[in-house]
Structure 1
Amino acid sequence: MNRPLVVFTDQTDLDCRPGMDLLRDAGCDTLLADLPTEPLAERPLPAGAERAVALVVGYARIDDAVLDLMPRVRCIATMSAGTDMVDLAAARRRGVWVGNLVDAATEEVAVHALSLMLCLERRLVEGRETVAAGGWTEDLPVVPRGTAGLTLGLFGCGRIARRLGELARPLVARVVAHDPFVTTPPDGVELVDREALLAESDVLSLHLPLTPETAGTMDRAAFAALRPGAVLINPSRGELVDPDALREALDAG
């Protein structure tokens, strides 16, 4: 009798080997494929992958075309909290269960977002370049503003945003958040509407899943609504930001 096969669809920054070892110890076969992030027609399945009963997915695109080639699949697990690489409607039609990796990187992403905020607010890139060129504080192109008077805005108020709010609260004047699915604010966070979030945030950090409704959230109107000198941080998905609108906003100062 064949052991059930679990296919790791692609290699990401996470090491697949520990997961493969656990699955093999539990009685499964494993296979590391190299599926693309675009339609599967560009690259065939590796030999034997057609008998997979489960997929562990990084960035590979899992849609009807992929699932047609692996009709036994009944479970898809992503290596991230996001599930935007999986066609959820296609999975639902086939009775395929989709699970995401919840809370695995909450602390890391929140700390990284805080690091980005401090790097930008303290002008660390410009400061390093100035010092490397032999200059000092008076040679900085812009003197950093103090963080104590700033408002941090959280666009989305899930686990990572809440943790970022906790970390940043001692450093800033206010933490505000907008999330239509949150009715009770975390301690020290003020819930506001979308318009107030954009208008009042000195630092705006995005914490949204990528869905058809959230794609391009930061469009021309959103950038126009930000206050002058605002900083945008995106530790979520790149597609939340309209690249043309971002380019225009940067060109406009």
Structure 2
Amino acid sequence: MSNLKVVVTDYEYSTLKYEEEVLAQIGVSLVPAQCKTEEELIEACKDADGLLNQYAQLTPRVIQALDRCKVIGRYGVGINTVDLAAATEKGICVVNVPDYCMDEVSDHAMALLLACVRKTVLMNNEVKKGNWDYKVSVPVYRLRGKNLGLISFGRIAQTLAKKAQAFGLNLLVFDPYIPDAVAEQFGVKKVSLEELLQTSDFISVHAPLNAETEHLLGEKEFKMMKKSAFIINTGRGPVIDEEALVKALQEGWIAGAGLDVLEIEPVRSESPLLKMDNVILNPHVAWYSEEAGTDLQIKAAQGVAEVLQGYYPRNLVNKEIKGKVNLKERP
């Protein structure tokens, strides 16, 4: 196996020592690259046995040029940088890290929710301007007994549900793809999107970005929400129609927002959101902790290593590839 190599298409980590350690154990070399264009990707990766990918777009043209590649490992949960259909057709396994930053993102969602409800950022800013007056925060309502609506109920939202229940929140979930048994297991109520919007005091968005979810929340949806409701987004920015959100905030359809992700990142300097006291903005940082970053690098490399050792990986994304490639199940 000593002639095998894995190319890192692009990365923003300070070190790749974790990937190197994982792959060195099976005699595979790691080749770092910083590709931005299709041409750079094709040149760097055409003879790679495996890829590790962060942000570079692995288009059908790039994937078609991969002559030896058996596996693409994605740094993260989402695989929006990889053309999954092209990879499957080419016989390439795609792996991700589905349990990446579950605690970090759920903690961050809860932090944004609490900051919105208790108006801590607003009061901090007022105090620093010399205004020692709690009345700038009026009204603040008790958290316990209120309804938190979760849009999508994957691993991160499930982790958040447990934390939110400790605060005495009732949990509503819109996710047509989860079985009733999962909702029962976590003590949440499955509802339609319309019911969630109409009855939730707070809404936390966790939906992946795809054709079905892009602009899932627009003017129609914001008008359904309570005027006292806050919306939190630590998922994907384009799930919310940002123009509609701005209008909803300006016209008082909803009370405020805590946003870690935006439709266009970084935030535009002319964005009205920057001037709104009822909006908290973070720079797409909910995923971050030192431990989460290390875990991600190790687990992405482990997924690649599993395939290069001849096994179906534990975190195989394109499961339809099973039986079409020469791999075996792990013992």
CA distance in 2, matches of 1:142, 1:14: 45
State the shift of 1:12 in Å: 3.8
> Is 1:235 paired with 2:234?
yes
Higher relative contact order (CA 8 A, sep 6+): 2
TM, length-normalised to structure 2: 0.69
CA distance in 2, matches of 1:152, 1:9: 39
Equivalent residue number for residue 224 of structure 2: 225
Equivalent residue number for residue 71 of structure 1: 67
Q: How has the CA–CA distance of structure 1 residues 70 and 179 changed in structure 2, closer, same or farther, with 3 Å as cutoff?
A: same
Secondary structure of residue in 1 paired with 2:150: strand
State the shift of 1:213 in Å: 1.4
State the shift of 1:146 in Å: 1.8
Secondary structure of residue in 2 paired with 1:224: helix
TM, length-normalised to structure 1: 0.89
Q: How has the CA–CA distance of structure 1 residues 148 and 67 changed in structure 2, closer, same or farther, with 3 Å as cutoff?
A: same
CA distance in 1, matches of 2:96, 2:44: 25
Q: How has the CA–CA distance of structure 1 residues 217 and 17 changed in structure 2, closer, same or farther, with 3 Å as cutoff?
A: farther
CA distance in 2, matches of 1:181, 1:195: 16
CA distance in 2, matches of 1:149, 1:129: 29
Within-5 A mapping of 1:66-145: 66-145=62-141
State the shift of 1:13 in Å: 5.6
| Equivalent of 1:150 in 143, 146, 149 | 146
Equivalent residue number for residue 33 of structure 2: 33
CA distance in 2, matches of 1:127, 1:82: 36
Moved more, 120-129 or 232-241: 232-241
**Stretches of 4+ moved more than 3 A in 1?**
12-16, 45-49
> Is 1:245 paired with 2:244?
yes
> Is 1:194 paired with 2:193?
yes
State the shift of 1:141 in Å: 4.7
CA distance in 2, matches of 1:130, 1:101: 41
Q: Is the 8 A contact 1:12 1:59 kept in 2?
A: no
Equivalent residue number for residue 203 of structure 1: 202
CA distance in 1, matches of 2:50, 2:14: 18
State the shift of 1:199 in Å: 0.9
CA distance in 1, matches of 2:162, 2:14: 27
Q: Is the 8 A contact 1:151 1:172 kept in 2?
A: no
CA distance in 2, matches of 1:170, 1:2: 51
Q: Is the 8 A contact 1:203 1:231 kept in 2?
A: yes
Identity of aligned residues (%): 31
CA distance in 2, matches of 1:215, 1:144: 32
CA distance in 2, matches of 1:196, 1:135: 40
CA distance in 1, matches of 2:13, 2:188: 33
CA distance in 1, matches of 2:16, 2:224: 43
Secondary structure of residue in 2 paired with 1:44: helix
CA distance in 2, matches of 1:45, 1:91: 15
Q: Is the 8 A contact 1:52 1:72 kept in 2?
A: yes
- The number of residues matched between the two structures is 249
Letter in 2 for 1:88: L
Q: Deviations over 1:20-41 (max 9, x none)?
A: 23213321121222233xxx34
State the shift of 1:45 in Å: 3.6
Letter in 2 for 1:27: G
CA distance in 2, matches of 1:210, 1:246: 17
Q: How has the CA–CA distance of structure 1 residues 67 and 111 changed in structure 2, closer, same or farther, with 3 Å as cutoff?
A: same
